[in-house]
Amino acid sequence: MVEDESAPGIPNGWYAVAWSHELGPAEVKRLHYFSEELVLFRTRTGRARVLSAYCPHLGAHLAEGGRVAGETIRCPFHAWQYDGETGACVAIPYCERIPPKARVRKWETVERNGMIFVWHHDRQADPDWEVPEISQFSDPAWSEPRIFEIEVPVHVQDMAENNLDPVHFQVVHSSVDVPETELIFAPDGRFFSAVSHTEQETPWGTFKMELLRDTWCIGMSSVESRGIPETGLYMFSSTAPIDRYHAISRWALTATKNMVDTAGEEWFDALTKGLRDDMRIWTHKVHRSEPMLCEADKMLGDFRRWTKQFYSQDA
Ligand code: FES
Ligand SMILES: [Fe+2]
């Protein structure tokens, strides 16, 4: 998207910043998300940790040569050690007294659904909800997830909006008919489902199908297709903001084993191809903070109102 001032800030929430399998024991990775330089590492006991990257001592980047030592990361410059859980400096090899303020910012981290999530909050408040555990990923009736990741030149909110934008499915993705969709908000308002119903002809007969799209916060969502007994298609995704103009989207797709080689494959293809159709629009669009909506755009209006809760007021 075009980098202008109208783009919103970075919404608060949980975001996947890596796949679990990418981070082996004692491995260290450099990350850039939320317009911040970060270091991701796996401690000796196997915990994934994320800290702000620049050492408070003389400013070395902890991911550029830093090494895991037990539960800490050791700075590559003078070997000060920072605890992964708290970010506090816990050892200076050539000095007994540790300056009490020697610490880097720690970022709350959780590993789930094969991904490593980091909590971002503008005012550094603690997480007030948990990353959902997706049962399909551990259910033996479902296939090993197929994973996919792509960098997108768009604000994380605009990417989420796109998933709900019914008209663009016809215009950009040439979908023949776009079913009526209903938005159902959870009582706390943070979570919502978009549900649509269709009738679909399949090799096994005609079925009443339900397409369910769940959204936990800006950037975390799932798509599920159900209706044929004993079968299902499921996609979980997390899109993490790199900055106000770029994001990385990670998807894990699974299907029941009885249809993974047929409908599953087609579905995986259709979802990933769909993204490529969006790219040209995304790359060149601006963000409209006050879009001119028409009467039929009710869902977009509802979505925009819902997004407000994820931004800190003074940010
Ligand atoms: S810059 Fe990190 S220990 Fe000196
Ligand atoms: Fe799209």
Using CA positions, which residue lies closest to atom 4 of ligand 1? 78
Predicted local distance difference test score (pLDDT) of residue 209: 84
The pLDDT tens digits for 225-279 are 888 888 999 999 999 999 999 999 999 999 999 989 988 888 888 888 888 889 9
Ligand 1, residue 60: give the atom nearest the CA: 1
Using CA positions, which residue lies closest to atom 1 of ligand 1? 58
For a ligand 1 pocket test, name from 62, 77, 89, 104 the mutation site with the most ligand atoms within 8 angstroms of its C-beta. 77
304 lines ligand 1 (CB under 6 A): no
Q: Which residues have CB under 8 Å from 286's CB, separation 6+?
A: 1, 2, 4, 6
C-beta neighbour count of 9 within 10 angstroms = 16
**CA atoms of 14 and 310, how far apart (whole Å):** 11
In the chain, what are the domains?
13-120 (2.102.10.10), 135-310 (3.90.380.10)
77 lines ligand 1 (CB under 6 A): yes
The beta strand positions in the chain, using DSSP E, are 13-19, 28-33, 36-42, 48-52, 67-69, 72-74, 81-83, 89-91, 106-107, 109-112, 115-120, 146-152, 181-185, 192-202, 205-217, 220-226, 233-241, 247-255
Q: Given the structure tokens 């998300």, which residue do they identify?
A: 33
How far does Cα 220 stand from its chain's mean position?
5
Going by DSSP bridges, is the β-strand pair 115-120/146-152 parallel, antiparallel, or unpaired?
unpaired
Predicted local distance difference test score (pLDDT) of residue 6: 83
With 0.85 as the threshold, say if the pTM is over it. Answer: yes
Predicted local distance difference test score (pLDDT) of residue 156: 95
Residues of the chain with pLDDT under 70: 314-315
Predicted local distance difference test score (pLDDT) of residue 229: 85
CA of 15 to the centre of ligand 1 (A): 29
| DSSP labels, 144-201 | PPEEEEEEESS-HHHHHHHHH-HHHHHHTT--S----EEEEE-TTSS-EEEEEEEEEE
Question: How many residues appear in the chain?
Answer: 315
**CA atoms of 109 and 87, how far apart (whole Å):** 12
Ligand 1, residue 79: give the atom nearest the CA: 3
Going by DSSP bridges, is the β-strand pair 247-255/220-226 parallel, antiparallel, or unpaired?
unpaired
Q: Given the structure tokens 């539960």, which residue do they identify?
A: 71
C-beta neighbour count of 296 within 10 angstroms = 9
Beta bridge partners of 238: 220, 250
248 lines ligand 1 (CB under 6 A): no
Q: Which helix (H) or strand (E) holds 270?
A: helix 265-284
80 lines ligand 1 (CB under 6 A): yes
61 lines ligand 1 (CB under 6 A): no
Ligand 1, residue 78: give the atom nearest the CA: 3
